[in-house]
Copies of this chain bind each other. A is one copy, B any other.
Amino acid sequence: MTTFGASLHDVQKGHVEIRAPIKDIAKQQQGLAHAGLTFALGDTAAGYAALTCMPEDCEVVTAEIKINLLAAGIGSSLVARGRVLKPGKRLVVVASDVYAVTKEGDEIHIAALQGTMVPVSL
């Protein structure tokens, strides 16, 4: 989160929003947001969404997650919205969507993720 300048913008039970600028460090050769940044944001939003459905002394780790890339990450920032599809004690099934935000504030849907988080007691 810190590396990419990401910040948590909206937290509700089962829903979380994260925003991050598209910094030079995360651009690939054509100047677009790297798929790795898109993945990291989408995965992180999904993980935080899972956390909102769990006891306070838990963390989550990603067991698996799949990303479909829908469009190029052109814009000034990215927003990722994670949600819980199915809470559970052993597994939490999650999804998230990542959007590129243009200077004008328009959102372009650039990725859809679906995965599984595993609760871990601290």
Contacts and interface: CB of A to CB of B under 8 A. Distances in A.
Contact of A36 (B39, B91, B115): B39
A116 B114 contact: no
B43 A68 contact: no
Interface residues of A, number: 33
| Integer count of this chain's copies in the complex | 4
| Most chain B beta carbons < 10 A, residue from A3, A26, A34 | A3
Interface string A41-68: 0010000000000000000011111111
Interface string A18-54: 0000000110000000111101100100000000000
B90 A109 contact: no
A8 interface: no
Given A35-B62, A71-B86, 15 more contacts: A35-B40, A36-B37, A36-B39, A39-B43, A64-B64, A64-B66, A64-B67, A68-B85, A70-B85, A70-B93, A86-B109, A90-B90, A95-B112, A95-B114, A114-B114
Interface of A: 3, 25-26, 34-37, 39-40, 43, 61-71, 85-86, 90-91, 93, 95, 109, 112, 114-116, 118
